[in-house]
Structure 1
Amino acid sequence: MKSVLITGANRSIGLETAKQLSEKGFFVYLGSRDLEKGKATVKELTEKGFQNIKAIAIDVTDSASIYAARKIVDQEQGKLDILINNAGVLGVNPQTAAEVSIEDIQTVFDTNFFGVISVTQAFLDLLKKSDSPRISNITSGLGSLTLHSDPTWKYYHVKTAAYGTSKSALNAYTIVLAYELRDLPFKVNAIDPGYTATDFNAHSGPGSVESAASFIVKHTATDDNAPTGQFFSNDIEDETGISPW
C-alpha cells in the first residue's frame, strides 16, 4: 500500500484530499499541528467508512515536530510515496507592498515557503525509497508572475505582498527541486487547486473543495509518463491545466 503525507490536512482542501486518496487505496497520514484535533477528525472519517487514515502531528515551522513525524513514518512505513505540502497561511490584510511589515511577511514565508523546504528536505530520503515518489507543492494562481503582469487576468487587481510573493517563491523552489531530481523517478509539481470556497478566504471562492482536491489528486497520483517541474492550475480553462509561471 502506497503512503502519503499531507500537511495542513485537518480541514478544507487538505482534508478532502485525504479522503479522496483514502478512497483510492492509499495509506494517508493526515498532518495536523494539533494532534488531538487530527485524531478527532480521523475518528469522524473512520465512522463514515474511510480507512487507512492516521493523524500525525506536524508543524511545518517547527523542526522538532517535522523530524518527529518523519520518525513515525520511517518506523511504520520505511518509506514515503507521496508528499503533499498543503499547509499554508494567508497572513494579515491588507498586504500592500508599501506598508506590510517585515514581520508579517516573515510569518507567511515561514509556513508557505520555508516550511515546505523544511518538510521536503526532512522526508526526501524516505521518498527516494519509493518506486514512484511524488512531491506536490500546493500553490496559488496569485503566485504567477506572468498572470500578475497581465491586466486582462481576472484576478489582476488581487495583489498580496506577503501571500502571493510566498507562493511565487514556492514556485521557484519547485522548479529547482524538480530539476535536481530529474534523473530519479520523482514527479515534482506546483499545483494550484483554484479559487476555492474555504475558511481560508471566508468562503469567497467559487470553487468547491471536492473539485480542488480532485485536481490535486489528478496531478499527484500520476503514472511514470506524467510531467514534472510543471505548474498546474484548476483555474486554467484548457485541458492541460498548465499555468504560466
Structure 2
Amino acid sequence: MDIAIIDDEQVFLEIFKSDVIKICNDNDIECYIDTFNSARNIMEIYKNYHLIFLDIDMPGTDGITALREINKIYNPKEFPYIAFVTSKENLIYEALKEFPYTFIRKKDINEILENCICNIYEKTNPKKQKYTIKCGRNLVNVFIKDIIYIDKIKNYVWFHTVNGTYKERATIEEKFADLMPQNFVRTHIGCLVNLDYIFEVTPNSVLLDNGESVVLSRKYYNEVNNRYYESLVVDDD
C-alpha cells in the first residue's frame, strides 16, 4: 500500500511514520511511505497513493484547501483515501465539509490509526475485496480472489468459486464491467476467467488449475494469451 504523510511538524512526522510502519509490519501489510512538510504539490502527486494522511493546519496550502482542490477533479472510483489528522478541534467542522474518508485527532491516534490502515488496506487490496452475488432473494459475499470463472447460461450468470457455485440473474456484460479490472479476462462472449487460476492456454481452450477447461474463441486468443504470460512474469518477480 502506497502512503503519503503530510505534516509541517517534523518531529511528529517522523513519529507518525514510525507508527504507520509498525502497524503495517504487525498486520503483514507491505507499505511504501513518503513524507512531506507541505501540501503545496499535492495536486501533482495524490494519484500515486492509496492513502494520504493530511494535516489540516499548515502554513501556505493547508489540508482543507488541498482536499477542496482535489475534490474538484477527484473521481470517487480512484484512490486515494484522505484521512485528516489534526490537534485543532475548532477546525473539525470546516474540515468535514470536504468529505475526507476519516478524521483523526492527534490525541486519539493510538486508538484509531491501526483500524484506519487495516480498513483501507482491505478496500485497496484485490485479494481482500468481496463481491456480492444476488442469488434469488439472498445476497452472497465472496472474495474476488476466490472466483475461478463465471459463465452465462440463458438468463443467468454462474459464479464458479473455490467454495461452490452460485447463480445470479444478470448479463455477462455487467459482470465483465465489474470484474475486468480485477484480474479477469474474457475467453469467449459468455465467459470470464480469473487469470490466477489459468494453468495453460491453448489455441481453442483455457485449462484451469482445478482440471476444468473453458472454450477460448479466436477473437479473444491474443488478449488471453498475452495477459496470461504477463501475469506469469509478475508472479516471478
Q: TM-score range by the shorter chain?
A: 0.3 to 0.5
Higher relative CO (Cα under 8 Å, sequence separation at least 6) belongs to 1
TM-score with structure 1 length normalisation?
0.36
Q: Which structure: larger Rg?
A: 2
